[in-house]
């Protein structure tokens, strides 16, 4: 076979493992003359050591050798070094031996004595086979990498779609809440006018009846109850107005830490009577917020009051104030029973409450104020692990909600 037919494999390493020195020397010279890098071994164990160190492309391996026979060496090479192919050299020309060698992983075999031309043909054939296997393995690896990239892209796309879907759902929920508050504003404005007039009449008649019924303690208690209920209805009307309508007052730079301390002082008796531990974390570099002090105090008082109502027999109230140059962040956490899953979507609805004496306006007021400042409010409440409200207020002037 002309040299040019093997030139594409020039420089490849070939290991000749044979205990017959003459065959090793002649084959080495013959193959080196055709551009191969030749390694030699005298037994199977020496052959394995060189394969591990040099990783040759091809091994010409004698079937019968001392220390470790060729068949044993062949099995170890093919099980541990897949890139190294083996041509077995054997003096036994039976078909049984040939089948045994091929089953053990030999790429081909050559019977001794062999002609140089036959050896070159075998080498060329096996090296071509090896090259195709390497290229095929490379393609499989590339395909695997591409499949993994596609899977990663799909997962990333699914995550993005999920994030966008959740964001849209949250935005839709916020829009619905704002619409509810707007509707409540129209209703409450009319109710306040229509209901307060008869309420004033009821209160006035009750006061007029007091002197006439002064001799009866029972009748006096009825009149007092009437007056109390009138006051309660009036307070509900005021809360409806607060939940749906801003104060309209001018805003000025406000220190949130001071407003928080003011509200905590007002709640001090309730905190101590319930055995609640208060933990505050306030950023020393907190920027002032341009806001209406009364509205900010309403945020604090409603969130803190809501948390305290969940810890009647003690617990921990954690309040964190932090921020940067663009946004202020408030976090209010309690260790109560948490918000039931079935109530989660309704907690900001006007009139919705799970408390016996609640009016359902506290969180509605908070939502209205936060939205009025262009902010966001979210709640996290793993079942049985309390609730945490997250509020973000941008450090920019916003137009008061009317």
Taking 70 as the threshold, does the pLDDT of residue 98 lie above it? yes
Q: Which residues contact 332 (CB under 8 A, 6 or more apart)?
A: 303, 304, 307, 317, 318, 319, 388, 389, 391
Share of the chain above pLDDT 70, in %: 84
Taking 50 as the threshold, does the pLDDT of residue 2 lie above it? no
Band (pLDDT 50/70/90 cuts) for residue 186 is low
Of residues 350 and 108, which shows the higher confidence score?
Answer: 108
What span, in angstroms and rounded, lies between the C-alpha atoms of 229 and 124?
105
Band (pLDDT 50/70/90 cuts) for residue 1 is very low
Question: What value does the mean pLDDT take over residues 71-91?
Answer: 91
Taking 90 as the threshold, does the pLDDT of residue 6 lie above it? no
Residue 362's pLDDT is: 73
Q: Provide the CA 337 distance to its chain's centre, in angstroms.
A: 26
- Euclidean distance between the first and the last CA atom of the chain, given in angstroms as a whole number: 97
Torsion of CA 173, 179, 184, 185, to 10 degrees: 130
Homologous superfamily of 3-114: Response regulator (3.40.50.2300)
Residues 343-386: tens digit of each pLDDT? 777 777 766 666 655 555 678 778 888 888 888 888 888 877 88
Cβ atoms of 84 and 59 within 8 Å: the answer is yes
Q: Which helix H or strand E contains 326, and what residues bound it?
A: none
SS3 88: strand
Band (pLDDT 50/70/90 cuts) for residue 28 is very high
Band (pLDDT 50/70/90 cuts) for residue 400 is very low
Residues 52-64: tens digit of each pLDDT? 999 999 999 998 8
Q: Where is average pLDDT lowest: 91-100, 126-135, 278-287, 292-301?
A: 91-100
Q: Provide the CA 314 distance to its chain's centre, in angstroms.
A: 33
Structural domain 247-402, CATH architecture: 2-Layer Sandwich (3.30)
How is residue 142 annotated by DSSP? H
Residue 50's pLDDT is: 94
- DSSP code string of 149-197: HHHHHHHHHHHHHHHHHHHHHHHHHHHHHHHHHHHHHHHHHHHHHHHHH
Taking 90 as the threshold, does the pLDDT of residue 97 lie above it? no
Question: What value does the mean pLDDT take over residues 195-216?
Answer: 77
**Region for residue 55 given its phi and psi (left: phi exceeds 0; alpha: psi -120 to 50; beta: otherwise):** left
Which residues are paired to 376 by β-bridges?
A: 392
Residues 282-309: tens digit of each pLDDT? 988 888 888 888 888 889 988 998 889 8
Q: Where is average pLDDT lowest: 22-26, 175-179, 305-309, 344-348?
A: 175-179
Domain ranges of the chain: 3-114, 247-402
């Amino acid at each position: 076979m002309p040299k040019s037919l093997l030139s594409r494999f020039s420089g490849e390493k070939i290991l000749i493992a044979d205990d017959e020195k003459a065959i090793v020397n002649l084959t080495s010279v013959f193959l080196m003359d055709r551009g191969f890098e030749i390694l030699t071994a005298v037994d199977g164990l020496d052959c394995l050591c060189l394969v591990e160190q040099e990783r040759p492309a091809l091994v010409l391996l004698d079937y019968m050798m001392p220390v470790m026979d060729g068949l044993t060496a062949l099995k170890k090479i093919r099980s541990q070094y897949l890139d190294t192919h083996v041509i077995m050299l054997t003096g036994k020309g039976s078909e049984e031996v040939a089948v045994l060698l091929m089953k053990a992983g030999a790429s081909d075999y050559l019977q001794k004595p062999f002609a140089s031309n036959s050896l070159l043909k075998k080498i060329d054939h096996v090296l071509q086979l090896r090259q195709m296997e390497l290229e095929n393995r490379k393609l499989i690896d590339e395909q695997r990498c591409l499949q993994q990239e596609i899977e990663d892209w799909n997962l990333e796309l699914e995550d993005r779609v999920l994030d966008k879907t959740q964001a849209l759902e949250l935005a839709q929920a916020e829009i619905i809440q704002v619409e509810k508050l707007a509707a409540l504003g129209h209703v409450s404005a009319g109710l306040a006018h229509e209901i307060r007039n008869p309420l004033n009449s009821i209160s006035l008649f009750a006061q007029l009846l007091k002197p006439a019924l002064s001799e009866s303690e029972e009748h006096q208690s009825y009149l007092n109850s009437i007056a109390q209920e009138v006051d309660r209805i009036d307070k509900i009307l005021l809360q409806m107005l607060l939940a749906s309508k801003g104060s309209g007052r001018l805003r000025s730079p406000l220190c949130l830490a001071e407003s928080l301390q003011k509200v905590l002082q007002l709640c001090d008796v309730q905190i101590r009577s319930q055995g609640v531990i208060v933990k505050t974390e306030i950023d020393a570099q907190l920027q002032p917020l341009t806001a209406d002090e009364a509205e900010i105090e309403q945020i604090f008082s409603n969130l803190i009051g809501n948390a305290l109502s969940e810890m009647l027999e003690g617990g921990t109230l954690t309040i964190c104030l932090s921020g940067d140059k663009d946004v202020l962040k408030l976090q209010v956490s309690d260790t109560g029973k948490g918000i039931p899953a079935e109530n989660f979507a309704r907690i900001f609805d006007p009139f919705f409450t799970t408390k016996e004496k609640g009016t359902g306006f506290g969180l509605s007021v908070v939502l209205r104020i936060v939205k009025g400042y262009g902010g966001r409010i979210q709640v996290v409440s793993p079942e049985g692990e309390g609730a945490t409200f997250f509020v973000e207020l941008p450090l920019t002037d916003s137009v008061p909600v009317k």
